[in-house]
Every structure is written in C-alpha cells, then in structure tokens.
C-alpha cells in the first residue's frame, strides 16, 4: 500500500498566520492560526510560522516527517523561482530568502507564492473556479489583490505582475490617495484598510457608530468581523461605507469583464468572508450597471466557496505541483 | 512554379471603406478608399465595398480571379463563425449575413471579423506587436476599442467579447455619458466622437478655435486630420481637449498594465495616426503615473508601426488563416 503524502499550506498575512495540513487530495486535516507580529522582525515571524505549522501537525496527529512539501503565500512580490520575497510592505520585508530560511529549519521543499495568486490557485482547484477555463479573482482584505485565470492556467503576465487589480484607477483625478502613491485606485476605496481609514476619520469627526463600542473604544482594533457585526446591527456609518465599497468593487469587476470577458468574477478575502451575503448582490448590481451589455450574459459573480481557506489550499497546491 | 495567391482585406468603418490587395506574404499591392454612406442602407454599402475591392484589383493590375479569399473587418459584434454581423451601431446594421452576401457576388471565401480584432491581428503579424507573446492594443477612432494578445494569440474571452477597453469606467459617478448608456467610460472621454462632441459644445458656447475655419464653418466635418492641423497650429481648445484624451488614455493603458502585465501597449486608430507623435509621450507619462511601479518595468507604449493599414492587413490575414 502506498502511504499518503501530506502537504502543508501557510497563508502569511500582515495580521495573521494561517497554517494547515492537507492530504494528497487537498482534504483539510487541521488548521491553526497565530498573530503575525511583523513589527518583531523576520526571525520572530519565521519562528511563529514554524510554531503554527507544528501546531497544525500536532492537531492532525501527524509526525513532522509526514509532510512532503510546504507552500507559503505572502502578501508581496515573489521572485519567479518561488524562493525569495522581493518586497512585502505589510510584513516590512525586502529580499527575504524565505524558502531557504524555512527549509533550513524544516528540512522539506518550500515553495513561496504571492498570497493572492495562491488564493486564485485554490479557487480554481477546489472552489467555485473549478472547471472554468477563465475567471478573475478579487480578494478584499487588508489590501485588494486579484488573480486571472486564462485557459485554465494562472496568468502571471510578462514579468509576473498580472492581477494587480487593486491598483486599477477607478476614480480619475480626485480619488483618495492609495498606499502605492497614486490616487483613485480601487484599493484606496474598497480594501479593508480604506474602509477602516474612512470609518476612523468619520468617528473622529464626531459621527456616531456602534463600531466604537464593538472595539472597546480602540479604533485600531477594527477587523472584518466587527464591520460585519456593525453592518448587521444596521449601523448607518458602516452601511454607507460598505455600500460604497460594493459600488466601486462592482466597477472594478465590470472593468475586468469588459476587458477580459471571463466566465466568472470570484470574490474572496476577509471582508467578503465576513459580509459576502450582504455585499455580493450589491457588487453584482453595480457590475451589471457598468458593463457593456452583451458581454455580461452568462458571466457569474460569486464567492470562492472556500471561506478563509483559499490561500492555504492554493499554497499547499503550489507545493504539491512542484513535488510530483 | 507555384503561382502566388493574393488576398483582399477590407476595413469597413462607419465613415470610410478601405480595401487592399496583398500577396501571400502580406505585401501591400494596392489600396483604395471610399466613403461608406451607411445612411443609404446595407445594399448600397455592399455595392461600395465591392467597387472598392474592384478598384484595388485594377490598381494592382490583377484579375478578379487572382484573389483567393477576402477578409472584412466591421465595427461591431460578429458571430463566432465569422459570417454574420450581429450588431454594428455605426453602420446601423443588425444581423447582416455579410459573408454570404459578399460571397454571392464575389464568388470567393469571405471571413468577417471585428475591426479592432482585425487590427490587433495585423499589429501582431506585421506591426510593433510582431514577436511579442503578450500585448494590448487600443484603437482610438470614432469609438475606442481594443484587442488583447496572450501567448501570441488573440484572446477573445468566454463569449468573444474580450477587449472592450473603451467601456472600462475611468471616471466613476460623475463621468460624461457614453454611447453604451453608462457614464465615465474611456470611450466617453477619449474617442474621436467624444473629442468632437466636446469641441463642438465649447465652440457653440462661444469659445474661439481655428477648427471652425478649418472645416469651413461646418462642425459636422471635423475629422482627425483637422484636429491634427489645429493642434499643430497651437489651437488652445484642441490642445486642451487632446491633452485630456492623453491623460485618460494613459489611465486606461495603466489599468490594462496593472491587470494584465503585458509586454507592450500599442496604440492605433485615426486619432493616433494623425497625432501620435504628439500624443504618445503624454499618454506614456500618464500611464506611468497610474501603474503600480514594479509592473511597469520594460513595458513599452508605442504606435502600431502600420499607420492606417493595421485593419486591412489583419482582415486579409484572417482570410488567409481560413484558407490554408
């Protein structure tokens, strides 16, 4: 009998680390979570990643040696060999040889992928993108990233930078400032960072919102779950902000539909995970209002079907693909 | 000795018909032009297309029988078999079986393609897209259309509608009305129709411009060449409008660079043909100001290298590809 191989997938975000163990078919065996604490530096973050993997192994009652390979998704630019993180602003990293560093401790093959590209791989293999030849993913989290699948393959573009949908300009000229230095990028109006920035500013300007109580007066603690609770409680400010996010996300989806005519636009990330049921109908309505009509026929706008797991699934899949 | 086959390529626009004869290698042998006069109906337009082809044959001193196949580019939605024009607003056509109608008179195979997709094929085979694996074309003419090449192939999308770059929203919410019914589409601010609409409005509102003299007081006669003359004479109004067109076209190019990370963005169409030397540096500057930096490395923004011939070349190429 051939023994089953296992793969580990890590989603290394600016806020949290998710680590999971999967069997050869992508079945989730265990899943652990930890705060990232990027302010403590690369070495500490790597220790926390390794701890998180060990905890996931323990939860699956598997020995360390059961893991054939590890895939890790990072929020940044990864070199084309899948070894080095060139730049990851939310981790404060530059040129970190992540694969080598993890391999020297874990003694297994390590593949580094961009987190959003990992999520797109996961959606294509296990989520609502399964079986589709062409789709576009948009992940709304701390930032706003995307992945494009053409002919059933992740499309990386000429220099590996395809899918930067968060930096498509949607409000020319007078749009809000984006972290990238430009104005009016989709990320500047529709990411969780943009949402939080606007809510904090309005509360500081005296606007009432349950958000303040929900995060015990500490506005640095606003997360997607708090936004979801406030939205469901009917909070005026949060509803107004989320509805604007839906409006602009729909415009972004429409731009991608007009340009690429995919079979589906698939939405994921923490904000969608928390509020997708309320947001998807509004995003869809806005998208249909901004596409040129005939291309919109039969194009689906939907969630990933994977909740928070798209990234860890895709990272493990990337590891498995390099480990035949 | 094998006799050389010839192919005819037609670019059927809302304003003019271009017909050309090429040899088997795509060498232009002759080229004729005629007004389209779509207001006279399908039958008259088809007669004019046939006359134009006959004139091109005569100019090349070739008999009718020398043509192996005809390709015709039309400004509209073509069915996937390359036979029927589903809808072409600038021709006032709906469901015209163009291939059958032309074949019944000319007795050669006829292939119908979308004009912008034809132009993109021409650019990829004979123009500045030659040898590139991925590029995006933007054609600024009466409307604003595009074509996307991925892995060396024209990318048509899931329902043949990919490349509708003119209907990407660039000015959300308060943008000018577009012919498609939406607001703030790139075509609504950067096509020749948009340029002419704005110039006419400003002149009617009392603004001075040499355009009025250049078209003998008849503002319905504004063409790209008149815009170019006015621009080169330093006309304030035309310069202001064209500079805005460059700004928004650059934003459109940047959206496509951010999303698709192509090797090049290639600009064509009547407006670029007439004013490309002045417009390309400004379009490039605007694009670089709206891309997320790392993806912009090594991406070229340039003209087609084919002047007005991209469409006829691509149409003839489409015919040749179906005629092995």
Going from the C-alpha of B57 to that of each of A51, B25, B72, the distances in angstroms are 77, 17, 16
Q: What does the block give as tokens for B12?
A: 């059927």
What is this structure's pTM? 0.93
Taking residues B195-212, report their average pLDDT: 96
Nearest by Cα to B139 from B266, B231, B18, B313: B266
B162 to A261: CB separation less than 8 angstroms, yes or no: yes
3-state secondary structure (DSSP) of residue B317: helix
Question: What are the per-10-residue average pLDDT scores of chain A (324 residues)?
Answer: 81 93 93 95 96 97 94 91 88 94 95 95 97 97 94 91 93 89 94 96 96 94 94 98 98 96 96 96 95 75 94 96 80
Phi, then psi, of B21 in degrees rounded to 5: -115, 130
Residues B245-259: tens digit of each pLDDT:
999 999 999 999 999
Beta strands A67-74 and A77-78 are: unpaired
Q: Which of A180, A259, A263 sits opposite B158 (nearest CB)?
A: A263
Query: How many whole angstroms separate alpha carbon A137 and alpha carbon A126?
Result: 14
Residues B211-225: tens digit of each pLDDT:
999 999 999 999 999
Taking residues B233-262, report their average pLDDT: 97
pLDDT at position A286 is 95
Cβ pair A34, A16 in contact under 8 A: yes
The verdict on A158 touching B (C-beta cutoff 8 Å) is: yes
pLDDT at position B1 is 43
Which ranges constitute the DSSP H helices of B92-235?
A: 98-106, 115-126, 187-190, 192-204, 211-214, 224-232
Phi, then psi, of A112 in degrees rounded to 5: -100, 130
CA of B50 vs chain A CAs: smallest distance (Å): 30
B182 to A261: CB separation less than 8 angstroms, yes or no: no
Q: C-alpha A2: how far from its chain's center?
A: 35
Supply angle C-alpha B86, B91, B94, rounded to 5.
25
B205 CB contacts (<8 Å, ≥6 apart)?
none
Residues of chain A found within 8 Å of residue B180, distances taken between Cβ atoms: 292-293
Is the four-CA dihedral A281, A283, A286, A287 of positive or negative sign? Answer: negative
Supply angle C-alpha A313, A319, A321, rounded to 5.
100
pLDDT at position A3 is 61
B294 to A256: CB separation less than 8 angstroms, yes or no: no
Query: How many whole angstroms separate alpha carbon B300 and alpha carbon A264?
Result: 30
CA of A46 vs chain B CAs: smallest distance (Å): 26
Give the burial class of B201: count Cβ atoms within 10 A of its Cβ; 0-12 exposed, 13-18 middle, 19 or more buried: exposed
B163 to A262: CB separation less than 8 angstroms, yes or no: no
To which residue do tokens 């789709």 refer? A135
pLDDT at B295 over 70: no
Interface of A with B in 192-251 (CB under 8 A): 247-248, 251
Residues of chain B found within 8 Å of residue A283, distances taken between Cβ atoms: none
pLDDT at B298 over 80: no
CA of B284 vs chain A CAs: smallest distance (Å): 15
Query: How many whole angstroms separate alpha carbon A320 and alpha carbon A121?
Result: 12
Residues of chain A found within 8 Å of residue B293, distances taken between Cβ atoms: 180-181
Residues of chain B found within 8 Å of residue A161, distances taken between Cβ atoms: 261, 292, 294-295
Nearest by Cα to B159 from A285, A170, A291: A291
CA of B253 vs chain A CAs: smallest distance (Å): 10
Query: How many whole angstroms separate alpha carbon A23 and alpha carbon B7?
Result: 58
A157 CB contacts (<8 Å, ≥6 apart)?
A163, B134, B260, B261, B262, B295
Nearest by Cα to B250 from B299, B200, B294: B299
> Predicted ipTM?
0.91
pLDDT at B294 over 80: no
pLDDT at B191 over 50: yes
Query: How many whole angstroms separate alpha carbon B68 and alpha carbon B116?
Result: 23
Nearest by Cα to B170 from A168, A289, A286: A168
B2 CB contacts (<8 Å, ≥6 apart)?
none
Annotate A16-50 with b (16+ C-beta within 10 A) or e (fewer): bbbbbbbbeebebbbbbeeebebeeebeebbebbb
Q: Taking the CA of residue A203 as centre, how many other CA atoms within 13 Å lie in the half-sphere pointing to its CB?
A: 22
Q: Crossing angle for the helix pair A224-232 and A192-204, nearest 10 degrees?
A: 60
Residues of chain A found within 8 Å of residue B251, distances taken between Cβ atoms: 169, 172
Nearest by Cα to B75 from B62, B90, B65, B61: B90
Confidence of residue B15 (pLDDT cuts 50, 70, 90): confident
């Amino acid at each position: 009998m051939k023994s089953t191989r296992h793969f580990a997938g890590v989603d290394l975000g600016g806020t949290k680390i998710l680590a999971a163990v999967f069997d050869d078919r992508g079945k989730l065996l265990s899943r652990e979570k930890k705060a990232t604490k990027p302010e403590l530096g690369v070495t500490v973050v790597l220790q926390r990643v390794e701890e998180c993997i060990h905890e996931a192994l323990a939860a699956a009652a598997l020995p360390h040696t059961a893991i054939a390979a590890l895939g890790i998704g990072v929020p940044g630019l990864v070199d084309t060999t899948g070894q080095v993180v060139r730049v990851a602003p939310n981790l404060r990293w530059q040129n970190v040889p992540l694969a080598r560093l993890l391999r020297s401790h874990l003694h297994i093959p390590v593949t580094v992928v961009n987190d959003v590209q990992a999520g797109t791989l996961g959606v294509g293999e296990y989520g609502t993108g399964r079986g589709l030849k062409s789709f576009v993913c948009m992940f709304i989290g701390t930032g706003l990233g995307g992945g494009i699948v053409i002919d059933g393959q992740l499309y990386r573009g000429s220099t590996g930078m395809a899918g930067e949908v968060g930096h498509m300009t949607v409000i020319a000229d007078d749009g809000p400032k984006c972290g990238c230095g430009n104005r009016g990028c989709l990320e500047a109006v529709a990411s969780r960072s943009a949402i939080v920035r606007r809510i904090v500013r309005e509360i500081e300007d005296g606007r009432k919102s349950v958000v303040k109580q929900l995060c015990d007066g500490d506005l640095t603690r606003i997360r997607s779950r708090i936004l979801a609770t406030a939205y469901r409680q009917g909070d005026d400010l949060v509803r107004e902000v989320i509805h604007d996010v839906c409006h602009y996300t729909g415009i972004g989806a429409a731009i991608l539909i007009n340009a690429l005519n995919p079979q589906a636009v698939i939405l994921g990330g923490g904000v969608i995970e928390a509020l997708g049921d309320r947001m998807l109908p509004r995003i869809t309505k806005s998208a249909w209002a901004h596409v040129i009509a005939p291309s919109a026929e039969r194009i689906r706008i939907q969630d990933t079907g994977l909740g928070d797991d798209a990234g860890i699934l895709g990272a493990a899949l990337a590891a498995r693909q390099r480990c035949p």
